[in-house]
Structure formats: C-alpha cells, structure tokens
Chains A and B, each alone.
Chain A
Amino acid sequence: MRIVAALLALLLAFPALAVEPSEMLPDPALEARARVLSRELRCVVCQNQSIDDSAADVAHFMRVAVRERLAAGDSDKAVMDYMVVRYGDYVLMKPPFKARTLVLWLGAPLVLLVAGLALFMAARRPTVVPVAVPLDAAERQRLDKLLDR
C-alpha cells in the first residue's frame, strides 16, 4: 500500500531532502521553535507532508517565511496566524476546531461516549436471558477434552 504513497511522493519530491542547512537560523532556540512549527504546517503542493519533511520548492519558501517571522520576533501563535492568513486553514496539519470540523473532532469521542453509555445501561439492567440450546452429552464430552478440562 505504501507503493502508491511512494509514487505520489516521488511525483512531487526532489532530490534534496527537507530542511536545508542554508535555511537554518543561527540561534538554536529560534531554530528549534521553527522546527516545531514546521511540523504543524502542511506543504501546500504535497501529499500529506509537513514543510519540515518536504523537499518541494513551496515548502522551502514556507520554511523561510516561518523563520523570517520568528527572527522578526513574532510569537509562535503569531507565526501560525500569519501562515494561515497567507495560505488558508489548509496549511494547518491539525485542523482548527470549527463548525465545519465538528464531526471530525467530536465523532470518535461521541462513539466512545454513546457506546460506553449503552454498555453501562445494559450492565445496570437485570437481563433475562433465554436458555441457550445446550450441547448434547457427546458434544460436551468432546469439547471438554479439547478444552483440557
């Protein structure tokens, strides 16, 4: 299944790999912040790759943009806001919590909640279970033997 991912990646990938030394900031603290933010931002032309992983030209420009803002003294949030204004919500690897993404964010917890609640109710309710069709003596004997009882 990864074959297709690889093919797709290759269509868009270039020989260079991700972050280039020339892009990196001299201040290690700022550079570390840039790397963290880069992992949260999507390369807009790639298949599900963050700009930190991508070797596409656009990703290079986006990485440089993030570092420019950080070097200019922006906070992490300000940088992310800046990128969203420029490229839209699409660049966020973690989509914002909005009406449009309500199902995405709450779907699974809701499944858990409803199923858990149903189980809890079922456990509280005294159950009347009809008598199961019992195995006959020969079946039981063979089963016991197999179950090492």
Chain B
Amino acid sequence: MIPELGHFALILAFAVAIVQGTLPLIGASRGDARLMALGRTAALTQAFLVILSFGALVQCYVTSDFSVANVVANSHSAKPLLYKITGTWGNHEGSMMLWTLILALFGAAVAIFGQNLPDTLRSRVLAIQALIGVGFLAFILFTSNPFLRLSPAPADGNGLNPVLQDPGLAFHPPMLYLGYVGFSVTYAFAIAALLEGRVDVAWARWVRPWTLAAWCFLTLGIALGSWWSYYILGWGGFWFWDPVENASLMPWLAGTALLHSAIVVEKRDALKSWTVLLAILAFSLSLLGTFLVRSGVLTSVHAFAQDPARGMFILGFLIVVTGGGLALYAWRAPKLTPGGLFQPISREGALILNNLLLCTLAATVLLGTLYPLFLDLVTGEKVSVGPPFFNATFVPICAPLFAALCVGPFLGWKRTELWPALARLRIAFFAAIVAAIVAGVFVDGRATLAAIAFGFGVWLIGGSASEFIIRARKGRLRTMPRSTVGMSISHAALGVVVLGAVATASWNTELIRTMKLGESAPFGDYRATLVKVEPLQGPNYTSERATIAITRDGQPFTTLTPERRMFTLQQRQVSETSIQTNLLRDLYATLGEGDVQQGWVVRLYLNPLAPWIWLGAAMCALGGFVSLSDRRLRVGAPKRKAATLQAAQVSHS
C-alpha cells in the first residue's frame, strides 16, 4: 500500500502544482488578494505531498519491498542500511524524485521566508517555481514512475552499483541538487521581475540569499564529487573534464557571475538587465546539465534516439524554460530602466570584468562539452574534447580573472584610481613572484607553467589577506559586515584550491610496480614494503587487503592498507584506496591484480597539497555561508509601499 500512497501523493502534488502555477499568476495580474494568497498555501501543500511521496519511496527501499520494480533494480536485502537509504536517489527515477523534493522544499522556503516580499512578487515567484515543478512532476509521472509494481515479486533485488556504495557519493547528489534547484528560485525571481517590469535594489537584496545558498551547495556538491573520484577511481586524479563534471561546472560559473553582478544591482542599481539574464542562464545551464546526464545523449547521440521519451521530455522542458525565459527577457528587459553611472576603473568595472571572464569560461566549457555531440549529429564525424583541450583554453582565461580578482575589492564604487589599489597589493605581488620562482627553480625546473600557476595561487591568498588586514587595521574589524568577511574567505579559498590542484597535478611522485610479499622499493623520500595480503569478509563483499609498510630513513613511518573488493552479487571488483594524509600531502595506495607467485600490482602516489583542493572548496562554501549569515540578509529587505508598486505596474503594463 505504501508505494500506492506515494504514487497518489505525487499525483496530488502534480495537481496542486498546476493550481499553484496558474491562479496566483492571474491573481497577481488582476490584483486579487485571495488568488495571490493561494500561492503560499499551495506551496506548503505541494511540499508536504512531495515529502510524503519521497518518504514512501525511501520506506520501500529501507524495508526492501521487492514488489516495487525500482527497488528490485537498485537495491538488495543484504546492503547496509545507509546505502539502502542513499540508494533511493542512486538511480534515474529516484534522483528525479530527489530533484522534485528539493524543488518543492525551496518553494515552501520562499513561502515561509518570503513574508516580507510584496504580494504580487511573492505570488509570481511561487507560481513560476510551481510551473517548474509541474514539468518535473509530469516527467516522473509519465516517463519515470518509481512506484511501478512487479508481479510476482522476486525474492531479492539486483543490488546497488558497488562504486555508489560509498559515503562520499551518498551525499554528493543531494548537495549538487540543492545547488542546481536553488537556481530555480533565482530564475523564478528573474521571471517574476520581468513580469512586474521592475528590478531594483530591493529585488537584488531579496534574490541574493537564494543565489548565495544555491551557490554554496553547488560548490560543496562539486567538491564532494571530485573528492569521491579522487579516492575511488584509484589513480589520484581529481578533475577529468568529463561532460558530467562539466555539466555541474557550467551553472557554477554562471552562478558565480550572477552572485557578483547582483552586488552591482544591490549597491549601485546598475547592470539590472544583465543580472536578470544571468539568472535565467544559470538555471538553464542547471537544466542543461540534467538533460545531458539524464537523457543518455552523452553516451552517444544514437543511444538518445533509441529511447527518446525521457530525453525528448527534458529537451522540450529545457527549450520551454530557456526559450520562454529569454523571449520574455527580450520583450520586457528593454523596459528596465538603467541605473547608476560609473567609470571603467571602478568596483563596477571590476565586477563587469569578472562577469565577462566567468561567462567566457562558461562558454568554453559549454562549447567543449556540446561540440562533439553537435559535430556527430550534423556531420557524423567524431571528435574528442578532453583535458588537454581545456588546459589550453580554460586555464589561460583564468589568469586575467585571478589577476583582477585581488584588485577588485580595493577599488571604490563609481570612479577610482588604479595605482593606490595596486600599491596596497605590493606585498601579495612579491609573495606571488617569490613563490613562483621557488616553485620553478627548487621544486621542478621543467614545469614553468605550473610554477606560474602556483604563483597565482599565492597571489589570491595574499591579495585577499591584504584586503582583510588593511580593513581590520582601520579598526573596522568589529563592524565589518559578514558579507565582506565571507568574500575574503571565499577569495582566499580559491587560492587554496589553485595551490592544491597545481601541486597535485604537477609535482606528484608515483610508483607503479609488481611487488611480491616482503619486497620493497624506494618511493620518493620513503621506502615501501609489501608486508602481507590477506582475505577479508565484508557485509556484501569479499576482499583482499594488502598491508604496505612505509618507512622513512629506516624508521617506520606509516602503514597503508589498500583493498580490492569483490562484490559477490554483481561480480564486480572495486578498488578501495588507502590514503594517509597530514593535510600537506597525501600518501595514496591502491592494490591491483596479483597472487603469491606473481606478486601484486601496487600503485603508490605521493600527492603534495592534494587535501587543499577539497579543504579550499569547503572554505569557499564556508565563505558563502558566512556571507549568508550577514545581518542585512537576515533582517530582510525593505517592503516596497503598495502605492509605489501599483504605480510601477500601471506604468509598465
């Protein structure tokens, strides 16, 4: 009965979403308070129903209800409880349920926290949010129903893919979706603003916390995914420029641009039309990411054509959301009045440069991801776009972005002088030069580009620290707004990520060899000895675990215990890496094939500063959360007076 309850709740949620997506819109255009008030109730009801439905699905997984086809396909009774729960969203249907759940929760959050919004704006935002919900609910109900029953029910399920049975990946999709879906709120605000014909300082203030929250979660989601691939895929890589990764990077880049341009709207009442466009693009790129991953178009254009129902649905939805949003933008944006004037050398100018470069980066990733598909579709010719392409195109654009990033916060609004700002950065500049020279001369004489990139990392940290210290010295530490503190943290964090990525990618040491029991080999400053390999029994796998002793100058240093797990049910081997970290470097080991006679293939890596990549990303998100805790965002923005609003409506309708 539980699956049916879940299914019915989902159908009801669909009906409620249709009501929420239409009546409040009509109410807002007619000024009917009763219809507008419906938006809030409907949003809360819809959220309740979707929670109920999602809960029912989780319940099916937890109790291993094998009369449900989705549970059979993706779960097994012998699986640990954590992975039974997280397995709920480890498949297509379940992940769409998670998406819809988060969408409904964001809708409810707008209804709850948006009390101070003007009625028309709030009801329009909730309606747009609901229309997006209608699309996804219809997608689940008509093409990807997770509650389908099987009769007769099999005795047990097929189990979850072993690589997904991992804590890192269990929480990666919820984080990522909180980011993706969070941009739907920003999108809804942008569409609502276009319908109202009004974008102003207050609007920017209302949108900012939602954008910031979405951006923080997306940052964490991407970092978790990268961390997972680092320790599970077994060769120490952390970013592969895989289309699936690119799909999450594009909305992040657009979202970062949006975060910055919204500041200009908030402080200076300028860049309004551009900010609205970015809000539309950020969510469109989130949807594009979903389309790329969910439609199977990445595997091959032909796989997409073979089972087109799902792909066509998302593609259609993507076209409606993006095309509709852009059409509305083309129609209404010219009516947005331009705001404050400024000179090129100013805070506004720096933020425009930031937007220009971030959008170019997003365009690079977009082209690199879609071009192979496009070329295959049009000419049938196959082309590969991999890491070397992105290293050649993406990385060079980062250089001016990073160079300008430290200067921007020193510039004043409207018009300012460049030299005083640069003079304050002289310490950071010298630190960066010294770091680059040290890296280039002492660490690795051949990796010139890596040394320069390392210098940029130091520049980012030094520049952000200088800005913070100069501000603090003026005695403004106590009154410093949290948003400024958050900015300093996030900017410095980017430098930490750069240092980690450059050092790991360029200066790692590796040892790949076949080792017999008792054999040892030199490894950097260390010596590795294969002590023993023993069989182990896990809950739903058997495993072979090696013990590798690492010594330094003859003294025992540490022990690494990589495993090779055989998941009995799926007959799949998964390599479990063993990582010993001191936060400055990772000692990383994996165990390959082998036996007593031949010896085992052992892979050892020494990855300098590797943990900094994820620490930096976490710090970056932390900066966002600190900024989110800013008093001014908590207090909320002023309520526009009804009279002004009506006047604005009259003038624009």
Give chain B residues whose Cβ lies under 8 Å from the Cβ of A5.
242, 244-245
Residues B383 and A19 in contact, CB atoms below 8 Å apart: no
Flag whether A115 is at the interface (Cβ < 8 A).
yes
- Among B232, B387, B392, max chain A CB count under 10 A is at B387
A93-B388, A139-B644, A143-B638 are known contacts. Are A2 and B244 too (CB-CB below 8 A)? Answer: yes
Residues A146 and B244 in contact, CB atoms below 8 Å apart: no
| B368 interface neighbour in A4, A53, A104, Cβ under 8 Å | A104
Give chain B residues whose Cβ lies under 8 Å from the Cβ of A127.
341
Closest residue of B by beta carbon distance from A113? B360
In whole Å, how far is B520's beta carbon from the nearest beta carbon of chain A?
A: 15
A3-B173, A22-B514, A136-B641 are known contacts. Are A116 and B356 too (CB-CB below 8 A)? Answer: yes
Closest residue of B by beta carbon distance from A123? B344
Flag whether A65 is at the interface (Cβ < 8 A).
no
Flag whether A58 is at the interface (Cβ < 8 A).
no
Residues A48 and B243 in contact, CB atoms below 8 Å apart: yes
Flag whether A61 is at the interface (Cβ < 8 A).
no
Residues B381 and A10 in contact, CB atoms below 8 Å apart: no
Residues A94 and B244 in contact, CB atoms below 8 Å apart: no
Give chain A residues whose Cβ lies under 8 Å from the Cβ of B381.
100
A2-B225, A53-B237, A104-B385 are known contacts. Are A47 and B514 too (CB-CB below 8 A)? Answer: no
In whole Å, how far is B413's beta carbon from the nearest beta carbon of chain A?
A: 13
| B387 interface neighbour in A2, A93, A109, Cβ under 8 Å | A93
A48-B242, A139-B644 are known contacts. Are A3 and B95 too (CB-CB below 8 A)? Answer: yes
For the complex of A and B, the 7 pairs showing the least CB-CB separation, nearest first, are A93-B386, A94-B388, A15-B573, A108-B364, A142-B638, A5-B244, A112-B360
Q: Binary interface profile of B, 355-377, with partner A (CB < 8 Å = 1, else 0)?
A: 01101110110011001000100
Q: Binary interface profile of A, 110-149, with partner B (CB < 8 Å = 1, else 0)?
A: 0110011001000100010110110010110011001110
- Among A1, A91, A115, A133, max chain B CB count under 10 A is at A1
In whole Å, how far is B605's beta carbon from the nearest beta carbon of chain A?
A: 12
Determine the distance from Cα of A48 to Cα of B300 in the docked complex, in whole angstroms.
12
**Contact residues, B453-498 vs A (CB, 8 A):** 481
Residues B356 and A115 in contact, CB atoms below 8 Å apart: yes
In whole Å, how far is A24's beta carbon from the nearest beta carbon of chain B?
A: 7
Residues A95 and B163 in contact, CB atoms below 8 Å apart: no
Size of A's binding interface in residues, CB under 8 A: 62
Residues B638 and A146 in contact, CB atoms below 8 Å apart: yes
15 A-B pairs within 8 Å (CB atoms) are namely: A1-B247, A1-B248, A2-B244, A2-B245, A20-B592, A21-B601, A48-B243, A53-B235, A91-B384, A93-B386, A93-B388, A94-B392, A95-B385, A108-B397, A146-B638
Give chain B residues whose Cβ lies under 8 Å from the Cβ of A24.
512
Determine the distance from Cα of A111 to Cα of B355 in the docked complex, in whole angstroms.
12
**Contact residues, B618-653 vs A (CB, 8 A):** 632, 635, 637-638, 640-641, 644, 648
Flag whether A30 is at the interface (Cβ < 8 A).
no
**Contact residues, B94-151 vs A (CB, 8 A):** 95
Flag whether A40 is at the interface (Cβ < 8 A).
yes
A1-B173, A2-B228 are known contacts. Are A90 and B383 too (CB-CB below 8 A)? Answer: yes
Closest residue of A by beta carbon distance from B375? A100
| B289 interface neighbour in A1, A9, A148, Cβ under 8 Å | A1
Give chain A residues whose Cβ lies under 8 Å from the Cβ of B289.
1
Closest residue of B by beta carbon distance from A31? B512
Determine the distance from Cα of A22 to Cα of B592 in the docked complex, in whole angstroms.
13
Main secondary structure of the interface of A (DSSP, over half): helix
Give chain A residues whose Cβ lies under 8 Å from the Cβ of B65.
none
In whole Å, how far is B396's beta carbon from the nearest beta carbon of chain A?
A: 9
In whole Å, how far is A14's beta carbon from the nearest beta carbon of chain B?
A: 8
Give chain B residues whose Cβ lies under 8 Å from the Cβ of A146.
205, 632, 635, 637-638
Determine the distance from Cα of A103 to Cα of B242 in the docked complex, in whole angstroms.
20
- Among A3, A20, A47, A116, max chain B CB count under 10 A is at A3
Flag whether B545 is at the interface (Cβ < 8 A).
no
Give chain A residues whose Cβ lies under 8 Å from the Cβ of B301.
none
| B601 interface neighbour in A2, A20, A139, Cβ under 8 Å | A20
Determine the distance from Cα of A10 to Cα of B229 in the docked complex, in whole angstroms.
13
Determine the distance from Cα of A74 to Cα of B604 in the docked complex, in whole angstroms.
30
Flag whether B430 is at the interface (Cβ < 8 A).
no
Determine the distance from Cα of A94 to Cα of B98 in the docked complex, in whole angstroms.
36
Closest residue of B by beta carbon distance from A7? B161
Residues B379 and A100 in contact, CB atoms below 8 Å apart: yes
Residues A107 and B299 in contact, CB atoms below 8 Å apart: no
Determine the distance from Cα of A106 to Cα of B244 in the docked complex, in whole angstroms.
23
**Contact residues, B372-408 vs A (CB, 8 A):** 375, 379, 381-389, 392-393, 397
Flag whether A67 is at the interface (Cβ < 8 A).
no
In whole Å, how far is B223's beta carbon from the nearest beta carbon of chain A?
A: 12
Residues A147 and B367 in contact, CB atoms below 8 Å apart: no
